[in-house]
């Protein structure tokens, strides 16, 4: 087996880890974004990777939908009602 093939797996794993880290850098974290109960505009992520990335909030439902439609990637954003911090619920 060539030496090159031994380096493929670690290179692939490190590339995936870097991509996951970049995805985690977008949006606000739960501790700084959650300010109280209401509707939050968030970018969903893989459940096992990280918590959702908050874009804005809290809003009423109508305000959240208006804010969602202002963004370029509106089809990827969700308005989610949060009554407690996601780590507590």
Q: Which residues contact 85 (CB under 8 A, 6 or more apart)?
A: 30, 31, 34
Per-residue confidence (pLDDT) for residue 62, from 0 to 100:
96
In a domain, 45, yes or no: yes
> Residue 14, Cα to own-chain centre: how many angstroms?
21
**Rounded distance between C-alpha atoms, residue 11 and residue 26, angstroms:** 24
Tens of pLDDT, residue by residue over 22-78, are 444 444 555 567 788 999 998 887 655 666 778 888 999 999 999 999 999 889 899
In a domain, 42, yes or no: yes
- Cβ atoms 30, 54 nearer than 8 A: yes
Per-residue confidence (pLDDT) for residue 67, from 0 to 100:
94
Structurally, how many domains does the chain consist of?
1
Q: Give kind and range of the element (H or E) at residue 11.
A: helix 3-24
**What pTM does this model have?**
0.57
In a domain, 87, yes or no: no
Range(s) of the domain holding residue 59 = 3-82
């Amino acid at each position: 087996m060539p030496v090159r093939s031994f380096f493929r797996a670690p290179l692939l794993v490190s590339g995936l880890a870097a991509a996951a880290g970049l995805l985690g850098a977008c949006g606000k974290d739960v501790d700084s974004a959650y300010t109280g109960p209401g509707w939050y505009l968030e970018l969903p992520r893989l459940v096992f990777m990280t918590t959702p990335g908050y874009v804005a909030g809290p809003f009423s439902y109508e305000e959240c939908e208006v804010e969602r439609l202002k963004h370029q990637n509106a089809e990827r954003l969700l308005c989610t009602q949060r009554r407690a911090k996601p780590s507590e619920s």
